Structure formats: C-alpha cells, structure tokens
Structure 1
C-alpha cells in the first residue's frame, strides 16, 4: 500500500531541500485582515533600531581623504581621524573611529577605518598586508560570535561594508600599487573607486581620465560596487555611469546665490562640491546613503563573508558542512533550472524547425497543385479554343450553305415566272 501510494503521488510533493519551506498555496481573502499595516509596523520597529555602516578609507597621503569624509557626512571628523605625517610613518596602521549620527529619529552608527601610511613607504610590497589582515579579522570575529552560545542575540557587526579607494588625479591611469590593491580588496569587500581632487583637472581631462580608469578596471577584472553586483542591487542603474566617481572635498562654506554651499574658492572662480557640473559628489552620496546602504551590508554578508566562511570551513577539514550542503542544494536547483531551460529551448527550437518544415512541405504541395491547376486550365483553354474554332468553321459552312440555297431558290422562282408568260 505505501509503495502504491508513493507511485500515485510521485512528484506531487517534491522535497523542498534543507531549511526550505514548501511552496505555499495562495488564497483570496473574503474580508480585510489589516495586512496592509505590516509594512508600517516594520518601519516603526526598524526606525527604533540603529543602523551600522563601516567604511574603510584607502589611498595615498595628500588626496584630501579626511576633508572628503567631513564633507560626505556634513560634520567634523578631524578630531577622530588624524593621519600621521608621511615622514613619521614606518608602516601602514589601522585607525578605526566610531561615531553616531542622528537624523529625524534615525540613528546611524558609523565606523570609519583610516589607513595612514598607505603608499608612503619606498618599499610598498607589504602595504596591503595589515589592511587585508584587519578585514579578515573582522570576518573571523563575526564567525566566532556565530558559534557562541549567545548567537541568538544580535552580533556586533564590525565587518567592512565598503572600501573607498582614492585614486590620485595624475591623468595617466592606475599605478602598480593601485592595481594590486584594487584586485586584492575587491575579492574581500565592496570597493568604490574615487578620483580625488577633481578640481585639479579640466572638464576634458576629467572625462578622459575617468574613461582611462574605467577601462583599466575592466582590463584588470576589478570588481567594483555596485556595477559588479547587478543581481543584488536595485535602483542604482543610473549611478553606474559615474563610476569611478570624481569628487571634491571642502570644509569651507560660502554664500552663492543666497544659499550656503560647500565650495573651494580660487582666484579664477569657485568650485562647488555639490554641483554636478564640477564633481560627482552628490551621486556618490546618493549611492552610499540613499540607494545602496542596505545593499552594502547585504552584499558584505551574503557574498564576501559567505565566501570567507566557506573557505575557513573547508580549510578546517570540513568539506561536507552545512554551508556546503546548502551550496550544493542551491547549485543543484540552479543546475536543474538551467538544464530545464536549455531542454525547453531545444524543444522549442525543434518544434519551430518542425513547424517550418511542415509549412515548407505544405507550400511545396500547394505550389505543385497550383502548377497542375494552371496547366489544366491552360489545357482546357486550348481545348476550348479548338472547339470554338471548330464551331466557327461549322457555322461558316452553314452560313455558306444557307446562302447557296437561298440563291438557288431565287433562280427557280424566276424561271417559273418566265415559263408562265410564254
């Protein structure tokens, strides 16, 4: 009986896989339940919870990184971020600084990790070592917290969500250290390339330099955020055209057209930080704060941390793990979907070819029948012409005979009249 039941219901209740729920059955409500208030409840709860954003600032000294961060968050961070002089820097150091920003009841816990000393040494071979070590340590700390008995509590997230990599506006492209750093960091974190001090370039030079950097990023296969994560990012399509962002930072505020704006004043004019004709600052801020802040956190967890955790588990001698089991199931599902899609496409192509072949055969048959009908019509027309010619000939003979008879009858009447008169 169980075997018969299994055969009868085979395929009706597929295995949803590990930690998966079966496909729910949609229902229609007979009356309102108030489900439309759920987003409002979630919004109120989320608003009471603080958000976290961890940024790492990487770039050589003298590019205005501190000034730019002050400009980006509309506050003064110089007291906390205090890079050392290049002369006193012997190696790259890591300086995390923590802040709390509040706007309209929403709290953002901001951590800015500065990397003074980067690219300042003559021998830059090991400049990336402390940076990569710090990023990996945050992954390890988060992984250790997940194993802790109190894992059900929220885990403090110190993982780097984005690296703002500042590129010198030299006009010639990426340096060797830039290429190495970008390729290495893009495999571990979300990297956002930034051209610093955009006011040092003319409009034509800026466009040319951005094109050079964009081409080199593509040639060296550097994964940048958000262009390298199209499936995870929504609503940032219009911002992709500005990568790499050319920006300006300034602590000075001036009144222009009756409005207080951040700007840099020169003898030849004023460069406005938030003017899109002068820099891409507003687009970078929009991406970081308005469009992709949640996506930065999500991609850090689901992509970069997920990869680090998988590598750590495999290195620990656990090739068959929960993570890999989930990966295997997902890959099987994805593989099945791809195979089904390919099979359906092949079937569709076969049906299309069969349909085309049937249509061609039908057209050839109709064409042949049409030719036969045309030949038959021509033959019947020719036969009809022959009958018509024969009828016309016979009609002509009849007319001639009638004429002959008519003349003969007239002569006979004339002869009888002549005989009677005599």
Structure 2
C-alpha cells in the first residue's frame, strides 16, 4: 500500500497533497510568495493609475499591455515548458519579475514615474508570467499523484486566495504610512522569496524524446486541443469569465474611489473579502475529490457568480458589496478549481505545458472586455458597465454548456483521463501510447 492509499480524514485529507511530498511543499511555498507579490502589484498599479492620473480608461490600457503578451506568448511558453527543465524556467522568469518590480519601486520612490513607464514595464512582467505560470501549473501535476491532484490544485488556488486576503489589505494599509513606492518594495521582496524557494525544487525535464521541431511542438498542442470536445468545452468555460466578468476587477478602484468613497484601505478590504470567500471555498473544494456531477457543479457556480456580480454592480452600500465580494470569491473558487482539475485530468504529461499555456492565453483575452469596459466606465460610470457584463456572462455560460454535451458527463471523462495517464506513466519513457505528437493515434 502506498502513502496515497492510506485513508485520510479531517485536516489530513484537506492537506493530503502536502503530506510527505517535499517537492510540492516547496512549490506550494513558492506559489504563496509569487501570488502574494502578484496581488500586491495588481492592487498597487491600479491604485497608482487612479490617484496619479485619475483616468479609468488608463486602467483598461494598462490591462491591455499586460494581457496582449500573455495572449501572444503563452503558447510559446507552454512549448518551452514541455521542452526544458521547469525549475530553471520558473527561476529565470521569477528573477525577471524581481527586476521589473524593483524598477517600478525606484521610479515611484524617486518621483519620476510616468504612465508611459508603466506601459513599457507592464508587458515585460506579463512576458514573465506567460512563461512562469504554465511551468508552475504543469509542475503540480508532475509532482503530485493523480488521486491527490484535485487536492493539490485546490490548495494551490487556496494559496492564491489567501494572498488575496492579506496582500490587498496590507497594500491598502501600507500606502498611507510608506507610500505606493514602499509597498512596491514589499511586493518585490515577495517575488524574491518565490525565487529562493524555486532553488529547492527538483529538476523536471521532459519524459518524451524530443524528436520534433519547436514549431511542430507548437502546432501539436493545438491539434490535441482540437481533437477533444471535452477539453475544448472546458477551455471555453474558462474563457467566458475572462471576457465578460473579470473586467469588474479592473474597475474595482473606480468603485472604491467614485462609488463608495472608501479610499485605499476600503479598496484593500474589498479585495480581501473576495479572497476570504475564495479561501473558504478552497478548503471546501479540497474535499470534493469524490463528488460526482462536477459539470453541473461548474454550471451552477457560474450562474450564481453572474447573479452576485449583477447585484454587486448595482449595490449602493459598501457593506453589502463586501458580502457580495466574499460570496463571489467562494463560488468562483469552486468553479475555477473544478475546471482546472478537469483540464489537468484529461490531458497527458507530454502536452501538459502547452495545454495549460493555451488556458493562460484566456487572460490575454481580457482586453476584449477590459478596454471597452474602462472606456465605457469613463463615460457612463462603472456600475452599468459591470451589470451588462454580468448578464452577458450568464447568457454565454448557458450557451456553452448546452452546446457541449461532454460537459454534462465530465466525471466520466476525468476518470478515463486518470486511467489513460496511469497506463501511460507505467509505459517506457520513450513510448507514448495513443499519442502522435499531440495528435491522438487512431
């Protein structure tokens, strides 16, 4: 009997993927530092834009400079992740994030920061994300047994949401005594911590023989996605929130400043409320490995999120908005974890980095919603813009679910993926049964 076969209860079950797994523990610790730094950077950059240049449209432009590199470079990052040592890839890009964050800190502290500086530095950071995040995501499934994969993804996402509790509140509180520049220095320290933990990760090289060119690898990932109706449906489910629902995150500084007038501390508390809900949701979903009808669960949580977002957009009370943010964090955490786990379960290791990078490309679609949302908010205000986005989100979610029958039998597809990958891992390293460079064999 292996460790993963031992029945676990209570907190042991909640943290089962960390038990006895030194490599994943270091990755998990690094993820905390990474997400903490990222959340602080996102909060501080938005607050800097609103308070220094007072232009909601600038928020959309800045989002575009962050999203476009991820849209263009994420698939390349996935190919690189499948071909190189993931530890070295993560370490190199993490160091680049330390450099970009340090640069912004210096520009702010010396009082020479201009908006064009942000427009130049932000895409450099986004480029690092495009290579760093696929490597981190792919490494989780390599370091953790598949029967504990949902738990590992739940904990990783819970760590992200834990950072959303502490980091935004801390950023908002620190702005008053030490300024945005000082808070950026702390964000830089978080990135440096994540880089340090990466040193302790084991080497992770590709298992398959690299007999294909870079471009063939690039195309192979898309061929594999196109061959699977279930995978296509899951990726579409991950894309819709980015386009229609997530622009509300871009506009949160506008809500905090112009709608409820709560300042930087109130803005941080809003983000922390969402993170608190997400953290609770993370611990709940970490125990849902055996829950059936995961496709229906995804649909239900998506619809609830859309309804909550609509009410949030029109709420005249800050206190109600905080409760709604917490509830949205809970249901979005559930949706995201089930979706991410399903994707990880149905794909083989040989294309994992490329498929996860395509999933990350969805963040590159954010300008499709964020830029027009920012421009519209400058003219008519943020509340009606977010309300319309919530309605479009619900409609498109229902359409995708109805048009993708395989989502309704998601558990069967995940179980087949588990069995297929178990057999694949038992095969010789140079044998990739059922796969011809990202294309399923007949």
Q: TM-score range by the shorter chain?
A: under 0.3
Q: Which has the higher contact order (CA 8 A, sep 6+)?
A: 2
The structure with the greater share of residues assigned to helix is 2
Look at both structures and tell me which one has the larger radius of gyration over its CA atoms: 1
TM-score by length of 2: 0.25
